[in-house]
Structure 1
Amino acid sequence: MTESEELFSDFVPSAGGEIPDATVPFSMWPYGDTTIGYIGIEEGFFGDVGITLSPEEGQTQLTDVTPGLLLSGELDVVVDYIPTMVQRYEEQPEIQMVQVLNSFIGNYVLAAPDRDATSVEEYVDEGMSFEDATAAVIADMDGATVALSADVASARNLLDGMLQIGGGSVESFGSLESLDDTQIVQLAQGEGVDYTLVSGAAQSIQLLDMGFEPVFGFEQMANNLPTGSDFTALGIGHVGLSVTDEYLDENLETILRFMSVYWRIIDYIETEPDQALAISLPYLNAATGYELTVEESAVLFQDFYQLISFDAAEEFFNDPENPLGLSAIYDAQIAAAQASGVLSDGVVVEDFVVAQQLYDLMVELKDDYEDLAADSSADDGTLAAAAAQASNRNYLDAYRILAAAE
């Protein structure tokens, strides 16, 4: 039996076909990918599985506040970010990520419109190797004014990785300024910068609207370098939902229902993006002060966030060749944290991310439901009620409804 199978191997769904009520104090973060929970609130998805959020209308809190509120018991579920969890694991080992929602791949080197720059992909299409194409992009930046985000490390990691791959140096730039993302956008508005590396997706959208073009990014690294490359791994991050280990032990079925809501939200975004994102966009704009359009919001999910649906989770967790998969990214990030003394030896990602085990459990519940449905003698109303839950990714209660009718 694998470790994944062992963790929840003794789980038995509760008896009965009724979905119990549960109140869950919950907070999102004020970003494009982390406010999609408002879609579930407005569409009644949480209520469909018996969950009432507290506050019912939803809320956002800042990223550095939610872990403390989770540990104090003021919140039961929060949005979280695995690279940050790596850094704080030694101080907050009680926090566990139960569901991974998306990959953030949105750091790019953006060239000003008057540069008429060629991207690394275009150079590769002309027949260059990835390394030579990267060197060509760097050569195009000779003497240029470059603005680098000071907000998070990923932008610097992208620049350093590009220079190492292409054999370049910052010495070839005309200047390199480290600024916050807002200052970089202001500089671009005044036509005072040739290339930018911002960390925020919303600021990238603003720059793209000005005509800036992406010439290099982590996605290109992932597509061209070996799986698990440090260059790629140190710039990719994944957002998800976290709880405390105590809450997980005591509220497993509530967590499974909560996860089903987010898989349903992701299905909605992937099938009807404009309709779905029009629901969450006002909350994002209100929380951030931006004025993004639905079309710009859709670009965020096309170019910056790769959603991990229920169907996509199998590849994310279990495909060793997936360059954006859980082990490919976090084996490297954990090794870097251990080398710098942030993490103790022996820590592995499964110590604080149990999302794969819970996904595997939901797959098992899906299989059990489908086995029951194939031979069930339940009446049409019961079969329809179970099928409705299954279509909403709530395989726990789809199974429970049919099991109670046997």
Structure 2
Amino acid sequence: MFTYTKPQMLDRRRMLRLLGGSVAAPAALNLLPGTVGQALALAPEIPAVTARFSMVSYTNHTWPIIGVRNGYFDEVGIDLDPADGRIVFENQTVPLLDNDEVDISTIFVGVLTPALDKIINIKPFLIHSYWQGNTILTGPDSGFKTLDDFVDEGHEFLEAAKLTVDQLRGQKLTVPPTISTRPWLEFVYAFGDMTLEDSELVSLEDPNAVQLAVSGGVPFSSPAGAVQIYQLQFQANWRPLISTRQMVRLATGEGAEVVKKLLNFDGFAATTDYIDANRDAIHRFNSVMYRTTADIFGPNQMAELNKQVPYVNAANGSSLDADAIKFIFEELDPFFTWEAQERIWTDPDYALNYVNVYRDQIEKFIADGAIAPGEYDLDELFVAKEFWQEAVELKARAAMLAVEADQAGLSGDKLVLAEAGKSWATKYNFLDAVRFLEASLT
């Protein structure tokens, strides 16, 4: 679990930085020199903790490094171990969490859903993006036709998809050694009444698959990561033979209903025991993630993305720039910011509502025998919904308390606590916003 190193991480430096984000900062900072110290003595405790944290090397999993570089984890008392996080492969996330080798990991939810009856103790506590980037690519001079080519020739979507997939019969295709992409590949092959065994599969980690593909060793490649898809498509000029993005764009009628089953979420996960023991710390962790995504999609977007560039390139042996990451975050892995969270949890008519995304997928896994028959409660899987609901309630209470504090005419150390609470709210740390505002009014 989170390792507690001391009961109160808040010190004068952090308090002054916190007050610097307050609307009334000048008034608070111009108080008598001893006032901040008095406020610190009255401030609610925010324990200093250490979290063993891992990130899959994907672009849409390594973006928390921006929050690290901006000092956001330090502000809420979280020290990551290692300091820049641990880079892992996708198929390591579940074993590392299950074996208590890491506390928190980024996760592709597609590694959990095909094994819901077996992986029962690992839950996503925050969802940050959805993956629509699955792609089978073919070389620039391969001569094979893409899904777009067949649709442009006048074929209806389902027939065009069949003709596209037929070209894979007997051909070499690189695939990652992970279960997460197999359901998608099986879905695609079914358009041609084929199974994966109808191709010659070459199982390779994504960086090695790119090397083999660009050297001409295979005619088709299907990496799992956005970095490698971007490298092949935009740096090596490989063409998407068939992809989720193409299908979402081109499918109509019956085909559109079929394609709805292809999407998947990415987020952050921990074991149920860890979550139950560390709810406050997870709320603070989530606040850092919401704050970082606000930066990523804010007015200084390119400057923020440039903080990720060296990290993601070192993790993947790639040469992406901020423009490439922007493309990935907006096209292949669109994000759910704080403002976008509500629809995925509460809007039943939203295509990306968690029930709409996963209900049919789970039914298919049951029908295919991948998971045992039974009732699978999506609210039990996605504890992220519960954490979001709690954060919404905390935000509303913080807003109410801020009004009370303004009306109370606070001064001295109480004013400092109130302004600190308001500042926490602007940083998405609604838990401590409530705690500090309540302390200012007692």
Check the 8 A contact 1:170/1:176 in 2, yes or no. no
Check the 8 A contact 1:263/1:310 in 2, yes or no. yes
Q: Which residue of 1 aligns with 2:33?
A: none
The yes-or-no answer on 1:25 pairing with 2:52 is yes
Q: Which residue of 2 aligns with 1:210?
A: 236
**Residue 186 (structure 1) shift:** 4.0
Amino acid in the other structure paired with 1:375:
E
Q: Distance in 2 between matches of 1:111 and 1:334?
A: 31
- Change beyond 3 A, Cα 1:35–1:374: same
Check the 8 A contact 1:150/1:178 in 2, yes or no. no
Q: Which residue of 2 aligns with 1:7?
A: none
Q: Which residue of 2 aligns with 1:178?
A: 201
Query: SS of the residue aligned with 2:227?
Result: helix
Q: Which residue of 1 aligns with 2:31?
A: none
Amino acid in the other structure paired with 1:338:
I
Q: Distance in 1 between matches of 2:121 and 2:239?
A: 42
- Change beyond 3 A, Cα 1:123–1:381: farther
- Change beyond 3 A, Cα 1:204–1:73: closer
Q: Distance in 1 between matches of 2:401 and 2:96?
A: 41
1:31-110 alignment runs, 5 A limit: 31-110=58-137
Q: Distance in 1 between matches of 2:95 and 2:178?
A: 21
Q: Distance in 1 between matches of 2:200 and 2:114?
A: 27
- Change beyond 3 A, Cα 1:145–1:342: closer
Q: Which residue of 1 aligns with 2:282?
A: 255
The yes-or-no answer on 1:219 pairing with 2:245 is yes
Structure 1 alignment gaps of length 5 or more: 1-14
Larger of the two Rg values belongs to structure: 2
Structure 2 alignment gaps of length 5 or more: 1-41
Q: Distance in 2 between matches of 1:264 and 1:81?
A: 21
1:250-399 alignment runs, 5 A limit: 250-271=277-298, 272-339=300-367, 340-376=369-405, 377=408, 378-379=410-411, 381-399=416-434
**Residue 69 (structure 1) shift:** 4.1
Check the 8 A contact 1:17/1:402 in 2, yes or no. no
Moved more, 47-56 or 255-264: 47-56
**Residue 363 (structure 1) shift:** 0.7
Amino acid in the other structure paired with 1:310:
W
- Change beyond 3 A, Cα 1:130–1:369: farther
Percentage identity across aligned positions? 27
Query: SS of the residue aligned with 2:334?
Result: strand
Amino acid in the other structure paired with 1:78:
S
Query: SS of the residue aligned with 2:393?
Result: helix
Q: Distance in 2 between matches of 1:33 and 1:50?
A: 24
1:94-133 alignment runs, 5 A limit: 94-114=121-141, 130-131=157-158
Q: Distance in 1 between matches of 2:240 and 2:362?
A: 29
Question: Can you list the C-alpha shifts for 1:144-168, whole angstroms capped at 9, x where unaligned?
Answer: 9673525446656555545655xx4
- Change beyond 3 A, Cα 1:146–1:56: closer
Moved more, 79-88 or 358-367: 79-88
Query: SS of the residue aligned with 2:68?
Result: helix
**Residue 403 (structure 1) shift:** 1.5
**Residue 242 (structure 1) shift:** 1.6
Q: Distance in 2 between matches of 1:62 and 1:182?
A: 11
Check the 8 A contact 2:401/2:438 in 1, yes or no. yes
Q: Distance in 2 between matches of 1:398 and 1:227?
A: 48
- Change beyond 3 A, Cα 1:261–1:227: farther
Pick the aligned partner of 1:199 from 204, 221, 224. Answer: 224
- Change beyond 3 A, Cα 1:386–1:202: same
Q: Distance in 2 between matches of 1:350 and 1:332?
A: 15
Moved more, 358-367 or 262-271: 262-271
- Change beyond 3 A, Cα 1:296–1:260: same
- Change beyond 3 A, Cα 1:127–1:384: farther
- Change beyond 3 A, Cα 1:393–1:117: farther
**Residue 259 (structure 1) shift:** 0.7
Check the 8 A contact 1:27/1:60 in 2, yes or no. yes
**Residue 348 (structure 1) shift:** 2.2
Q: CA RMSD in A?
A: 3.5
Q: Distance in 2 between matches of 1:338 and 1:16?
A: 52
The yes-or-no answer on 1:400 pairing with 2:426 is no
- Change beyond 3 A, Cα 1:227–1:260: farther
- Change beyond 3 A, Cα 1:56–1:348: same
Check the 8 A contact 1:218/1:232 in 2, yes or no. no
Q: Distance in 1 between matches of 2:96 and 2:173?
A: 35
Check the 8 A contact 1:331/1:348 in 2, yes or no. no
